[in-house]
Amino acid sequence: MNIHSISTQPFTDQKPGTSGLRKQVPVFQQRHYLENFVQSIFDSLEGYQGQTLVLGGDGRYYNRQAIQIILKMAAANGFGRVLVGQGGIMSTPAVSCVIRKHQAFGGIILSASHNPGGPEGDFGIKYNISNGGPAPEKVTSAIYDRSKAIEGYKIIEAADRDLDKLGSSQLGTMTVEVIDSVADYAQLMESLFDFDRISELLSSGKFRACMDSMHAVTGPYTHAILQQRLRAPAGTVINGTPLEDFGGGHPDPNLVYARDLVEILYKENGPDFGAASDGDGDRNMILGRKFFVTPSDSLAVLAANAKLVPGYSAGLAGVARSMPTSQAVDRVAAQIGIDCYETPTGWKFFGNLLDAGKATLCGEESFGTSSNHVREKDGLWAVLFWLNILAVKQQSVEQIVKEFWQTYGRNYYSRHDYEGVETDPANTLMANLRSKMSDLKGQKFGEYEVEYSDDFSYTDPIDGSISQKQGIRIGFTDGSRIVYRLSGTGTKGATLRLYLESYEPDSANHDKDPQQALASLITIADEVAQIRTLTGRDKPTVIT
């Protein structure tokens, strides 16, 4: 095996965010850039020699080239086997599934999730550990520290592997096994859900569904599972062919970027059920006919109906949500007598709770929901969970959600995203808010009185680790909340996220438009943070 040791110098911008390292494609295409980061991952690990690595991505531009580089570096660094998805394709939850099933040492996922793709679009890379979940902060910190001091990387000289043909080949002393990207994941889904009942629903001719894969990674999964195994009619899956630029679209399953699906579901006599997934398949949006289900409500509805689903019929150990996610699921947990954990944003914070058996279902308001079956968000899993509930209850999506509100009350909730804000004004806004925190308690803003204000800090109940400055919260005496965060998932400027929540127990008041119900809080949020003044934006980029 001809191993080359290539001299290099550190890049200063390789600090992983909440979901790995994300940059624009031309940044990753710089000489040594990807190689430096991959070597920094390997140098930060111990005991992987001879072990199995899982490798796959969402099919975006530069995915195939990056896989060839990583394979040659894995061989040079001593891995014994790499399981790589056919065509270089593997959804993020499927990578987690394969790591866990095959007891792999870890995995590398190539994705920038819901960010746009193409030659000038975004690219990303992250490392997942042996439980199938994203690397915790102690690992990503070690990777970053190594990237600042790296002087070289190892790579073998060899021909590229054929990623499209299933089977094994040798790359030096390492085995490269190209696997069916869908098989292991589909088997896991069938163990959790009543496929026969869902199939009866989808093939009955009385129920119509539409699944928008947004020309992203879930296309092969939805075709194989929904249309083949579950007998949904041809055409149920739209935009089902993965493309390097996602067909020129923005693979983010929300009301703005999944416009094709929204228009279909809001037509007269539209389908009964609609869903969309994102670039790497870990997010989901759920729609009924002319009815949008917020991700927060979706998590709560799944928790409230979990016993209807075979894989969860024994009950839930607990639930967990990210701090900005609405408190709807908290009310479910309280009623059925289980714990509800509030964590920072970032799926890695759920890993310890899931591993310790403290939580079964987890969710984030950013269209991510999952359970202890893997250690990642799982968009198609959420779709199948909903379909299983619909098959059992024989109600519409709207009826199920409104029945939930009748029982638990409605948490009016919305997220306002200000994307691509200049970094300095965004940081100034957050700094100004932090300086006000100690003085807000007791202040009145119209009918609202501040009960507490803080910068959310989380102490992990399993390992005791502390995460600070995770979002600024302003809570009011009636249970309403305003939350401000700067997101770490973009590659240009900063994304300011504003979260608004108000609880309404009276079912007579459950039919308001969320923006109308939250209008006073929206005004207060701008008044306190001076969003318009500091960002120059008179409205959000996206409202969900």
Kindly indicate the confidence band of residue 489, based on its pLDDT and cuts at 50, 70 and 90. low
Tell me if 79 sits within 8 A of 55, measured CB to CB.
no
pLDDT tens for each residue of 76-128: 999 999 999 999 999 999 999 999 999 999 999 999 999 999 999 999 999 99
Looking at residue 512, the DSSP 8-state letter turns out to be S
Q: How many other C-beta atoms are found inside a 10 Å radius of the C-beta of residue 224?
A: 18
Q: How many other C-beta atoms are found inside a 10 Å radius of the C-beta of residue 9?
A: 9
Same-domain status, 465 and 508:
yes
Same-domain status, 73 and 151:
yes
In this prediction the pTM is: 0.94
Closest residue by Cα to residue 294 from 233, 355, 369: 369
Domain containing residue 497? 410-543
Kindly indicate the confidence band of residue 491, based on its pLDDT and cuts at 50, 70 and 90. low
Name the 3-class secondary structure at 55: strand
Catalytic-residue membership of 191: no
Q: Which of 19, 40, 96, 113 is an active site residue? A: 113
Same-domain status, 453 and 320:
no
Same-domain status, 397 and 416:
no
Q: What is the rounded average pLDDT for all residues in the chain?
A: 96
Same-domain status, 334 and 416:
no
Same-domain status, 232 and 301:
yes
Same-domain status, 95 and 161:
yes
Kindly indicate the confidence band of residue 17, based on its pLDDT and cuts at 50, 70 and 90. confident
Q: Indicate the residue among 359, 380, 408 that finishes a domain.
A: 408
pLDDT tens for each residue of 351-407: 999 999 999 999 999 899 999 999 999 999 999 999 999 999 999 999 999 999 999
Q: Indicate the residue among 375, 408, 441 that finishes a domain.
A: 408
With tokens 């020699």, the residue in question is 49
CATH code of the domain in which 135 resides: 3.40.120.10
pLDDT at 32: 98
Name the 3-class secondary structure at 23: strand
Tell me if 493 sits within 8 A of 448, measured CB to CB.
no
Number of domains in the chain: 3
Closest residue by Cα to residue 11 from 107, 164, 151, 196: 151
